Amino acid sequence: MQAVGTAAKLRFGCFAPEGRASDEMTRFWSILRVSFIETVRQPIYGVLLICTMLMMLLNVSLAAFTLSDDDKLLLELGLSTLLLSGLFLSAFSATAALSREIENKTVLTVISKPVSRPLFYLGKFFGLIGALALAHYLNTLVFLLAQRHGVLQNTSDPWDMPAIVFGSGSVFLTLLAAVFLNYFHGRDFPLTALSILTPLLTVATVLTAFFDKRWNVTPFAQEFPGGQVVIATLLVLLFNMILAGVATAASTRFGQLMTLTTCVLFTCLAAVADYAFGQYVGVSNAAAAAYHIVPNLGPFWIIDGLFADRQEMTVNASYLGYAAGYSLLMTAAFVNVGIALFNRREVG
C-alpha cells in the first residue's frame, strides 16, 4: 500500500486538534511517528532490507574466493553492506519523507497550522533515524548469523545448522503470519512483517548462541564473533546517522537522483579524507584545516585494527564515546543546515 503524505494523515486525525495538542512536544512526536510509518511502508524500504539480508548471505560464499584471510574479507563485506544499505536507505527515504511532500505541496497544509518549519523538519528527520536504526538492527542480526556461520574453507566443513534453521525459520514464520494477518484481517503487510520479524529474529539469534554447529549445547555466544565486531556495527550506524542528516538536508532542495548523488559523493569524500588531507597535516595549514573540517569515515571503520594480529586494537568506552560525540556533532551540523535550507524553501 502506498504511503500517505503527512498532510493526509493530518486530515484523518493522526494529529490531535489544536486545543488538545498545543504542546510542541506532542506535535513533534506525532510528526515523528507518521514519518516513521511512512518510511517503513515505502516499497523501497522493504526492497533494500531484503536485498541487504540476501547480500549478507551471499557474502559467505564470496569470501571463500581468497587464498587467505577469509574471515577478514567476510567481515569487511558485511560491514560494507551495512554501510551501503544505510546510504541508500537514507537517500531514498529522505526523498520520500520530505522532497516529495514539498514538490506535491502537501507540506503546506501542515506548516500552515501551528507547526513551525524546524519542528516539522526535526520530526521528519528523527522518524527517518528510527526507520534507519530498525533496518540496521535487523541487518546486524543477519550479519552476526553470517559471521557465526563463517566461510566453509573445505568441503568437509559442517554447515552451521542452528544459524540456518533458526534464522530462516524466523523469516518463514514472519512471512506466513504477515500474509495471514494481511489477507484475513486487513493488517498492513510491511508494518506487520516488521513488528513480527524484529522479535522473532532477535529470539532466533539468541537461541543460536546456545548451540555449536553440531547442535551441542555450549556457553552463551561462544561460537559468535566477539564484542568488538558488534561495536564495529554500532560505529557504522553512527556514520549512517551522519548520512541521514546529509540526505535530509539535500532533500530540501534536490530530488531523488541528486540526493542519492550527494550522499554517494559525501561518502567517497569521507572515505578518502585521511589519505587526501591527513598525511599533509604537518606540512600545510590548508590541509590541516581541511582535515578537521571535512567529515571523516576513519573513526567509524575499525576493521584494519581488529585484524592486525587479530587483536591489536580494542575499542574501549572512551573511543566509542569519542566516535558517538563526533557523529552527533556532525549530524547536528547537517540538521541545522537542513533547517536553514527548509526555512528558505518556497513550498506554496
How far apart are alpha carbons 53 and 48 in whole angstroms? 9
- Residues 6 or more apart whose Cβ sits within 8 Å of residue 51: 85
Helix (H) or strand (E) holding 341: helix 317-343
pLDDT, tens digit (0-9, with 9 covering 90-100), for 169-213: 999 999 999 999 999 999 999 999 999 999 999 999 999 999 988
How far apart are alpha carbons 116 and 123 in whole angstroms? 11
When comparing pLDDT for 319 and 157, which is higher?
319
pLDDT higher than threshold 80 for residue 110: no
Q: What is the mean pLDDT of residues 114-122?
A: 86
Residue-level pLDDT at 11: 42
Which residue in 6, 1, 12 sits closest to 34, CA to CA? 6
Which residue in 85, 90, 63, 66 sits closest to 74, CA to CA? 63
How far apart are alpha carbons 175 and 146 in whole angstroms? 21
Residue-level pLDDT at 101: 80
The mean predicted confidence, pLDDT, of the chain is: 86
pLDDT, tens digit (0-9, with 9 covering 90-100), for 242-297: 999 999 999 999 888 999 999 999 999 999 988 888 788 878 888 888 888 888 89
How far apart are alpha carbons 24 and 103 in whole angstroms? 26
Residue-level pLDDT at 67: 66
Helix (H) or strand (E) holding 260: helix 256-277
pTM (2 d.p.): 0.88
pLDDT higher than threshold 80 for residue 8: no
pLDDT higher than threshold 60 for residue 324: yes
How far apart are alpha carbons 150 and 142 in whole angstroms? 12
CA angle 274, 55, 330 (to 5 degrees): 35
Residue-level pLDDT at 287: 83
